[in-house]
Amino acid sequence: MSYTPTEADYGKAVKASVTVTYSDKSTDTAEVTFNVAAKPTAKPMNLQYVIRYNNVVATVGKTATNAPVITDRDNDKLVKVPAGTTYTVDDKALTIAADGTVTYTPTEADYGKVVSATVTVTFPDGTKLTPGVAFSVASKQPVKPVETPREKLQTAVDAAAKLNEKAYTAASWTSFEQAAAAAKAVLANPNATDAQINAALTTLNAAKGALVAAKTDGGKTDGKTEPGKKPGLSNTGASVAMVALAAALIAGAGAALALARRARR
């Protein structure tokens, strides 16, 4: 005797009576029982899937997204969660879409921090998973300060002070020295305008570029100007022009400085 249980028979004992008729017409009755196994318990959904989030690098002021990676717990293959699965995140600063993608826009307060939160995944059978999600916010890049005209001139004056007078011809050094003096006078004037400061810087750089190397021990000169510079005028013409400009700068700076001192009195 055979029997194929249906879903309605899960966990039941299906009984039936069997009548045996012999050749002499006599009969016997026997009872047959089929014990149907209980319905298999479904594996909880939170034990069927693995859900994780990668660490995403984010930048302040720019929106970053972090999508869930969903795999089958048994074979580690990428899969989709069942329809009806929902996602929530426990940080109001983060938003989460229906597919579990988390979005975040870092603020200036987040520089160099790791912003993390917990996502709750609720499956249709009521079971849950709680993967963590994180955004590593890039550090703030230092802003290189912009050098002011006065700072540029001060740098040039400091560099000029390191040059050796004996390494250059007297004529070229005289022009350079006067340009340096003019630059110092401008720096000493707290009321010097950017135009005056820039003019002093231009004159000093030109004088430095026009420096001519002194004669070597062999009595020769290489005739070259300051390395890396191209002479514009002839040495004599350049010297005259720079001396005149340096004198004008010194005079202007001196007059302005004198007026400033009188005003303070």
pLDDT tens for each residue of 83-126: 999 999 999 999 999 999 999 999 999 999 999 999 999 999 99
Tell me: do 74 and 122 sit in the same domain. yes
Tell me: do 108 and 54 sit in the same domain. yes
pLDDT at 27 over 70: yes
Averaged confidence pLDDT in the chain: 86
Tell me: do 50 and 134 sit in the same domain. yes
- Asked whether residue 80 is assigned to any structural domain, the reply reads yes
Tell me: do 50 and 136 sit in the same domain. yes
- Asked whether residue 198 is assigned to any structural domain, the reply reads yes
Tell me: do 56 and 131 sit in the same domain. yes
State the maximum Cα–Cα separation within the chain, in Å, rounded to a whole number. 151
Angle at 127 (CA atoms; ends 122, 129), nearest 5 degrees: 60
Total domain count, the chain: 3
pLDDT tens for each residue of 35-70: 989 888 889 999 999 999 999 999 999 999 999 999
Task: Write out the DSSP string of 43-85.
Answer: PPGGGTEEEEE--EEE-TTS-EEE-EEEEETTT--B--PPTT-
Tell me: do 128 and 160 sit in the same domain. no
Tell me: do 14 and 50 sit in the same domain. no
- Asked whether residue 1 is assigned to any structural domain, the reply reads no
In three-state secondary structure terms, 130 is coil
Q: Which domain holds residue 180?
A: 149-210
Quick one: which H or E segment has residue 128? strand 128-129
The residues near 125 (Cβ < 8 Å, ≥ 6 apart) are 42, 44, 45
pLDDT in the model for residue 233: 43
Please report, rounded to a whole number, the percentage of residues in the chain having pLDDT higher than 70: 81
